[in-house]
Amino acid sequence: MIRPVRSGVIVACPQCGATLPNDVITATVPLPCRHCSAEVQVEAFPALVKRWTPSGQPGEPLTNDSQASCFYHPDKLAVVPCSNCGRFLCSLCDIELASERLCPACVEQGRQRGRLDRLVTQRTLHDQVALSLAFIPLLFFWITLVTAPTAIYLAVRNWNSPSSILPRTKVRFVLAILIGALQILGWTAFLAHSLT
C-alpha cells in the first residue's frame, strides 16, 4: 500500500500495515518486514523514492525507456501515484488536496459526485444576502417589517462564516446591520406616532 505524504511516500507492509523503510523499497530482493518478518519486495517506479517536485510545475521529460511515464502525458516523467486510482502522474497533473495527491480525473469525479469535502467550488456570500435583505425591501416598504430584523440576524449569525474565496471585508455586514437598524427605528417611530 502506498500513501503519498508531503515529504515523499509511505510504503506499508501488506501483512501488518507497518511503514517500510527506504532500504526495503530500493532493494532488488525480498527483505523481511521489521515488524512481522513477512518477506516483502517492492517494485516501484524510480520516482517513488525521489523527492517530489511541487504540484503544477511543468513535467520533466523522460530520459530513457526504463522510467515510468505520466498516465496523461506519456512523454513526461511520473513523480507520484494518484492517492485514489493509483495512476502515475507528472508534476503538472499532480493536484495536492489536503494530504492527498490526486489526478485531474479523480478531482473532477469527486467534484461531480460531491465526495471532495475539501474542494470548495462555491460559497454563499452571506454578507451580500444580508445587504440585499436590507436594501431591496426599500422598494416595497411594508415588507421591511420582516426583512430588517432578518437582515440583522443573518449579518450577526454569519459574521464569522467563510466569505468569498477572494478576500472581502465586513463592510456589507456592517451596512446590513445599520440599514436594518434604521428600518426598525423607522417602524418604531411610525408606530409610536400612529398610536398617539
pLDDT digit string, tens, across residues 111-126: 777 777 666 666 778 8
Whether residue 181 contacts residue 155, with contact meaning beta carbons closer than 8 Å, is answered with: no
Domain spans in the chain, listed from the N-terminal domain onward: 2-113, 126-195
**Pairwise CA distance, residues 157 & 129, whole Å:** 12
Strands 95-97 and 88-89: unpaired
3-12, 85-94, 133-142, range with the lowest pLDDT = 3-12
The model's pLDDT over 43-88, given as tens digits with 9 standing for 90+, comes to 665 555 554 555 556 777 777 777 788 899 888 888 888 888 888 8
**How confident is the model at residue 9, as a pLDDT?**
57
Whether residue 2 contacts residue 48, with contact meaning beta carbons closer than 8 Å, is answered with: yes
Residue 5: which H helix or E strand, with range?
strand 2-5
Query: Taking the mean position of all CA atoms in its chain, how far away is CA 22?
Result: 30
Amino acid present at 133: L
**Pairwise CA distance, residues 75 & 70, whole Å:** 7
Residue 7 has pLDDT above 50, yes or no: no
Predicted model pTM:
0.41
